[in-house]
Structure 1
Amino acid sequence: MDIKNDIPQEENKDKAETEEVLISCEKEDNENFNDNIAFKYLKELSSHMELENEDGEVKSSFQFIEEVDHNSVLANYLNKKAAEKEEDHNFKIIPFGFNLSQKEAVQSAFDNKISIIEGSSVSSSTDAILNIVLNAVINDKTVAIISESDFFALKFVEILNQVDMDFIVDNITDNENDSNKDKINQWLSLKRNEFEKRNLPKERGELKDIQNTLGEIFENENKLSVMQMEKANLLNEISIPDSGSRMILPASILSQSAEKIMLFLEEYTMLIKKDKYIKFLNKIRFLFKYGISEFGFYNNKFENIKKLLINRYNYLKITELDIEIESLKNKLDRYLIEDEIRYHKENSLSILRGILYEKYSKRKDDEILENEEDNNVGDTSKKVQAVITSINSFKKSMKGCKLFDYVIIDEAERLDIFSGALILSCARNIVLISDTNQAFDGPYDKENNIWNEVYKEYSPDEAYNYLNNSLLSSITKIFPDTPRTVLVKKYRGSRNPVNLYN
């Protein structure tokens, strides 16, 4: 099956025209890359891909790309031209794994032509992917998830099935080729009574308030964790002066704030390093600046004075932190955080289903026949907005594909640049999901000399070297400022910073 996507024009008031518009590879929208070294290098690679694929699927797929759509990420990739950031101010609904990093990841995906999401757990990466897909669909954007294998592609369908939204995607793999027309019709029929009289704008406003509350909770949790870690470090730094020393700090110093003690220690240390002792004029200056009138204090060993000053500073900072920690704990104790998160997820999914019902039922109403009786659910078929597929299935079916608004590549650090370039040719925007536990091994026949020979013949930038680069490493070399979001998965049920950041 060929992947074909219809992408409606944004803000188009004419429904009939919107249904007909395709973002296609029209000649006037394409760029001529015949003289581009990287493009010629990739073309030459494709002529040798039969060594890897006996069916010649990869070769035929790339050879078919005679011109590159200037709207595609491939054009940016070959030109080394970063796209300007375009902020998307639409409210984002984030039902899966909501936290500050998930919120940032979704926003970055819609703000940037190329973005990277880095996660150390499969669940957090999966959450981010599904959050992006759902926001794309409800905003009339087409999106494709490309996974390493059919098995991993199916996990997204299974999760969407669990939340009663699997009808939004077509599953295109070697073993599956689903059509969602019947699924949508059945779902609309079942949900008619549930969703017909909902006030979705009001519900979205309430959800935004819930998100803001959760955001404040998470920010306070982060502050609490940082403070607890800072307190632990300060406790570890407290030292014991020499056993033979009975010196104590003058009352004038004990009355100073933590900041002033640290400022005095810095000045005192600098003068000792410079002059080996404190001159009389500096003692007078310290008298007026810090109120230190006990000049005999300076006769003690520098090491002991330094230890006592650091201990006093740490004691005062720990006291300050204890007050702030207690205040934050009191704020957080007002909420049952797990319940708040569960409530947010249930509301998010409910609103998403309501938006989808409104979206698909409206489409059905526009297409219903005049002589249809009893308002039966009609044919709601239309080119799908979301596709889930594996890399191999995508390459087999990409010939003639239209540009997806968003393409999400799972485990992008394992994808070679040749396969990656094929995908970039079909993407207006790209999201690269990186698993920090994975690494690029190179093509399976990397010992074959042909790859080095082709590279030497064309000598493109090292970032395009097929043997040495994954798509992820290649893009980060070409666009080092690519926005990168690191997903943080917190362990709830404990406010211990070791558990939170384990």
Structure 2
Amino acid sequence: MDIKNDIPQEENKDKAETEEVLISGEKEDNETFNDNIAFKYLKELSSHMELENEDGEVKSSFQFIEEVDHNSVLANYLNKKAAEKEEDHNFKIIPFGFNLSQKEAVQTAFDNKISIIEGSSVSSSTDAILNIVLNAVINDKTVAIISESDFFALKFVEILNKVDMDFIIDNIIDNESDYSKDKIEQWLSLKRSQFEKRNLHKERGELKDIQNTLREMLENEDKLSLIQMEKANLLNEISIPDNGKKITLPASILLQSADKIMLLLEEYTMLIKKDKYIKFLNKIRFLFKYGISEFGFYNNKFENVKKLLINRYNQLKISELDVEIESLKNKLDRYIIEDEIIYHKENSLSILKGILYERYSKKTDAEILENEEGNNSEDTIKKNKAVITSINSFKKSMNGWKLFDYVIIDEAEKIDIFSGALILACARNIVLMSDPNQVFDGPYDKTNNVWNEIYKEYSPDESYDYLNNSLLSSITRIFPDTPKTVLVKKYRGSRNPVNLYN
């Protein structure tokens, strides 16, 4: 099956007419890059690429691009022009691996034209990709996942198959689609009794409340961990004065709050550094400000006074932290986070299926009329499907892709800039998945001297150097302020984390 006839398209016809083609002669709708050094460099690279298939599609792909769609990330990449942030206020459903970093990753992906998600855990990264894909699909956005290989691409299909939602993914291998209209119709038939009379608007509102409470409890859990660490550090700092005799703080200081004692210590230290001792006028000022009437207290060695003040501050701060710790523990003891995450996932998936049932059942009804009129009904359902493919399969059929609303690149640190540029040409927004434990080894034929010769001939910015940059490093050098979310995954109690999060 030719992929050119089975690709996602925009719902809005007017928008599609201006943005659907990457290669166009309509210069009023596209930005000219013929004089752009980086673009010329990439085109020259493509003319020296080895053929990826017998038709030479990869070699010639960049040669065919005379104009770059100004809505694509490639336009920003070549111009080094960062896009303005546009916040997406739609409620995000996070069924897979819900935690604070997953929520942040999804929101950041929809708020920014270019975003990075970093995670050393394969399951956490997979969760983030699936969460983004599902939110894109239910909001009528086209989305593509570009994986390192066809084998890794299958993991997303398998996970969605386990939750009975694999029909939203169209897996493209070697330019062949696995799309099945029968699979969707069968799914709709099985779900009809379950979803026909549901109030999804009300259910989404309830899910939002569940998610907000869960977020608050996760924040409390993180706060509790930080406070306990702070308490442990304060306990380690408590020491005993070592001047050979016991000295004590004046009773007036013992009545002060922790913050007031810290303020006294700062002033005391500043005066000692300045004058080497506490002058009489300062003793009078401290009498009114801190109630210190025992002037003999100032005869003690500064180091011992400093230790006493620090100890008193630590003791008071520890008491304050104990109150916070007890309060947070009481809240968390009444709320079992593990169970709520499972409950949240079940509700999220149920609502997602309900939304998809409404959408696809309506499209199926519309197909009846289209069939009568002799139109191609398959494209009607496929408009909102997600596409998943490997980098090689993508490049082989690159000339047939349209502009996706979102493209997610898995393991972006392994993608060279030439392959990456082809993907950017097809992306309105891009999400780069990164593993800090992976490194870029360079292109497969890095010993070829022609790459250095081309680089010297065009002399583009170092950020575009084909030999020494992955797509990830290139983008982070060009756009150093690209928002990045670091995924954090917690394993809780004795529960099986694989079952809990996947």
Query: When the two structures are superposed, what TM-score results if normalisation uses the length of structure 2?
Result: 0.92
Aligned residues: 484
User: Counterpart of 2:116?
Assistant: 116
Deviations along 1:15-46, one digit per CA (max 9) or x if unpaired, are xx999998233433222211110000001111
| Corresponding residue for residue 216 of structure 2 | 216
CA contact (8 A) 1:5 1:22 kept: no
Aligned to 1:231: 231
Instruction: Identify the residue that residue 461 of structure 1 maps to in structure 2.
Output: 461
CA distance in 1, matches of 2:279, 2:93: 65
Letter in 2 for 1:77: Y
- For 2:247 and 2:291, locate their aligned partners in 1 and report how far apart those are by CA, in whole Å: 18
Letter in 1 for 2:7: N
Distance 1:21 1:137 in 2: 22
Matched, 1:38 2:35: no
What amino acid does structure 2 have at the position aligned with 1:258? A
Residue in 1 aligned with 2:10?
A: 8
Residue aligning to 1:24? 21
> Does the aligned pair in 1 maintain the 2:106–2:132 contact within 8 Å?
yes
- On the 8 A contact 2:57/2:397 being kept in 1, the answer is no
Contact in 2 for aligned 1:95/1:346 (Cα 8 Å): yes
Tell me which residue corresponds to 2:179.
179
Once structures 1 and 2 are overlaid, which stretch shifts more, 45-54 or 18-27? 18-27
Instruction: Specify the code of the residue in structure 1 equivalent to 2:416.
Output: D
Q: Does the CA-based 8 Å contact 1:241-1:308 persist in structure 2?
A: yes
The structural deviation recorded for 1:61 is: 2.3
Whole-angstrom CA distance in 2 between matches of 1:416 and 1:8: 29
* Residue identity matched to 2:21: S
The aligned residue for residue 168 of structure 1 is 168
Deviation at 1:51? 8.1
CA distance in 1 between counterparts of 2:433 and 2:319 reads 43
Rounded to whole Å, the distance in 2 between the matches of 1:74 and 1:323 is 54
Residue 328 of structure 1 corresponds to 328
1:346 and 1:68 mapped to 2: Cα distance? 43
| Structure 1 residues 292 and 50: CA distance shift in structure 2, 3 A | same
Q: 1:349 to 1:21 in 2, by over 3 A?
A: farther
- 1:117-266 counterparts in 2 under 5 A? 117-174=117-174, 177-242=177-242, 244-266=244-266
The 10-residue stretch of structure 1 (435-444 or 203-212) with the greater mean CA deviation from structure 2: 435-444
Q: Where does 1:83-102 land on structure 2 (aligned, <5 Å)?
A: 83-102=83-102
Shift of 1:336: 1.2
Matched position secondary structure for 2:117: strand
Matching residue of 2:382: 382
Superposed CA deviations along residues 129-187 of structure 1, whole A, max 9, x for unmatched, are: 00010011111111000011111111000000010000001111249631221210111
**Aligned with 1:318: secondary structure?**
helix
Residue 301 and residue 154 in structure 1: after superposition, are their counterparts in 2 closer, same or farther (change >3 A)?
same
Aligned residue number for residue 498 of structure 1: none
Residue-by-residue CA offset, 1:363-390 (whole Å, 9 max, x unaligned) = 0111225999xxxxx9775346211111
- Please give the residue correspondences for 1:44-59 in structure 2 after superposition, counting only pairs within 5 Å: 44-50=44-50, 56-59=56-59
8 Å CA contact retained: 2:3, 2:176: no
Q: Give the match's secondary structure for 2:106.
A: helix
**Does the Cα contact within 8 Å between 1:238 and 1:310 map onto a contact in 2?**
yes
In structure 2, distance between residues paired with 1:305 and 1:52: 75
Q: Quick one: structure 1 residues 371 and 53, their matched pair in 2 at CA, closer, same or farther if it must change by over 3 Å?
A: closer
Mapped to 2, the partners of 1:477 and 1:173 lie a distance apart of 32
Task: Supply the distance in 2 between the matched residues of 1:447 and 1:228 (Cα, whole angstroms).
Answer: 54
- Partners in 1 of 2:74 and 2:134 — Cα distance? 25
Rounded to whole Å, the distance in 1 between the matches of 2:278 and 2:483 is 51
| Structure 1 runs, 4 residues or longer, greater than 4 Å off | 17-22, 51-57, 369-372, 378-381
Structure 2 match to 1:375 = none
Q: Which residue of 2 aligns with 1:67?
A: 67
Aligned CA distance change for structure 1 residues 371 and 90 (closer, same or farther; 3 Å): closer
CA contact (8 A) 1:240 1:307 kept: yes
In the TM superposition, 1:289-438 aligns within 5 A as 289-368=289-368, 381-383=381-383, 385-438=385-438
What are structure 2's unaligned runs of at least 5 residues? Answer: 495-502
- In 2, are the aligned partners of 1:49 and 1:56 still within 8 Å (CA)? no
- The question of whether the paired residues in 2 share the 8 Å contact of 1:6 and 1:21 is answered with no
The amino acid across from 1:471 in the alignment is L
What is the DSSP-based 3-state SS (H/G/I as helix, E as strand, rest coil) of the residue aligned with 1:27? coil
Asked if the contact 1:408/1:431 (under 8 Å) is kept, the reply is yes
**Is 1:286 the counterpart of 2:286 in the alignment?**
yes
Q: What is the SS of the residue equivalent to 1:239? A: coil
Say whether the 8 Å CA contact 1:5–1:404 is kept in structure 2: no
CA RMSD of aligned residues (A): 2.3
**Aligned partners of 2:19, 2:263: CA distance in 1, in Å?**
66
Measured in 1, the distance between the counterparts of 2:371 and 2:405 equals 37
Matched-pair contact (CA < 8 Å) for 1:9–1:21? no
Q: In structure 1, what is the Cα distance between the partners aligned to 2:465 and 2:18?
A: 38
Seen in structure 2, the aligned counterparts of structure 1 residues 176 and 339 have a Cα distance that, compared at 3 Å, is farther
> In 2, distance between residues paired with 1:249 and 1:135?
61
The alpha carbon displacement at 1:6 in A equals 3.6
Are the aligned partners of 1:7 and 1:141 in contact in 2 as well (CA < 8 Å)? no
Residue 121 of structure 1 aligns with an amino acid whose one-letter code is S
Contact 1:210–1:344, Cα closer than 8 Å, also in 2: yes
- State the AA in 2 paired with 1:294: E
Shift, 1:282, TM fit: 1.0
